[in-house]
Amino acid sequence: MGSGQTVTVFGAYGHTGRFVVSRLRERGFVPVLSGRDAEKLKALAAAHPGSEVRPASVRDPGSLDDALAGAAAVINCAGPFATTAAPVIEAALRARIPYVDVAAEIEANTDTFARFADRARAEGAVIVPAMAFYGGLGDLLTTAAMGDWKSADEAHIAYGLSGWHPTAGTRAAGAVSRERRDGRRVRFTGGRLEYTRDPAPTLRWPFPDPMGPRAVLGEFSMADVVTVPSHLAIPEVRNYMTVEAAGELSAPDTPAPTAVDEHGRSAQTFLVDAVVRSEGVERRAVARGRDIYAVSAPLAVEAVDRVLAGRTRTVGVASAGEIFDAEDFLRSLSAHLSLELPD
């Protein structure tokens, strides 16, 4: 448990940031609320009496240093991460504290590995990108499915969402990614990221019960195409998304998520089906839960807790499946996820 340790949350007043702040408090940590909008931070602090507010901007390194001063770790929840990740990582390295983010942006995560891997390893620092629903959960499930396999021919991570009401942050991050890709799609094939203008294929994915077979967009690449191959020898990593959810994401008039319970969660449900195949043999790991934004909070906070407790397998820039015991990590989230893992 947190035992009163201080954790700075950058982007604390954002949709996911609010869930992270609440989860930190539940786990016994003391969150420091940070971000560029001082008024929004004060409003959030009113809901969490005793919370310290430290406004900061990625354009002002000194303000970031102040925001992280005395903290045991930092969780970056402020997108677009193409803009925020590097400055906050630099501040974490100066402060000599672990960095965790919830970035779903493929390019931002690729940048983090490329820019900071050697330096973080040399300094013994811990940087965990994409420690969220996209990137983190898929990587943990795929790693758990791999078990004792040293390599596999292919990994398939299918997202069965009941719907997808994107936040303003999701829309902003998506716009940045599309601009960086010049409108192209990205996929991981042949052991590398590949950009294409071909339309995404539509097919049916055999989701486990109770969802069952559903129409999905193939090659609907998410952060898993960065996190999974960063440590697993799998030359083909593919994502799939239910057609209805993909349609809601792309529609400009889809409203933001609406809270329907006392925890602030929406009614959205999800099923993540991770399948690895090697020489005709198939292994599967499945997670079911509710609200992709809300579940990112226990993922990120559990990561911080384990890093600070020394329950890690490596240093440097590392994805969830590489730095943590994947199966044990997933089982620790039993209050938030229903799991089916290989025996």
Give the HSE-up count for residue 311: Cα atoms under 13 Å, Cβ half-sphere.
15
| Domain 133-292+334-340 classification at class level | alpha beta
DSSP string of 312-338, one letter each residue: -S--EE--HHHHS-HHHHHHTTTTT-E
Rounded distance between C-alpha atoms, residue 339 and residue 17, angstroms: 25
Rounded distance between C-alpha atoms, residue 119 and residue 114, angstroms: 10
Residue among 188, 242, 246, 196 at smallest CA distance from 216: 242
Alpha helices in the chain (DSSP H): 15-26, 38-47, 61-68, 81-95, 106-123, 138-146, 168-181, 224-227, 243-250, 296-308, 320-323, 326-331
Structure tokens at 274: 């991770």
CB pairs under 8 A, 24+ apart, for 207-215? 207/158, 207/160, 207/271, 207/273, 208/271, 208/273, 208/286, 208/340, 211/160, 211/271, 214/160, 214/242, 214/243, 215/242, 215/243
Per-residue pLDDT of the chain (343 residues; tens, 9 = 90+): 667 999 999 999 999 999 999 999 999 999 999 999 999 999 999 999 989 999 999 999 999 999 999 999 999 999 999 999 999 999 999 999 999 999 999 999 999 999 999 999 999 999 999 999 999 999 999 999 999 999 999 999 999 999 999 999 999 999 999 999 998 999 999 999 999 999 999 999 999 988 999 999 999 999 999 999 999 999 999 999 999 999 999 999 999 999 999 999 999 999 999 999 999 999 999 999 999 999 999 999 999 999 999 999 999 999 999 999 999 999 999 999 999 999 8
CATH no. of 6-131+296-327: 3.40.50.720
pTM: 0.97
| Residue 100 β-bridge partners | 75, 128
Ranges of each domain in the chain: 6-131+296-327, 133-292+334-340
Residue among 12, 279, 324, 343 at smallest CA distance from 137: 324
Angle of CA points 315, 80, 198, to nearest 5°: 95
Structure tokens at 306: 């384990």
pLDDT tens per residue across span 256-310: 999 999 999 999 999 999 999 999 999 999 999 999 999 999 999 999 999 999 9
pLDDT at 1: 65
Cis-peptide into 206, omega within 30 deg: no
Burial of 284 (0-12, 13-18, 19+ CB in 10 A): middle
The DSSP call for residue 257 is: P
DSSP string of 225-240, one letter each residue: HHHGGGTSB-S-EEEE
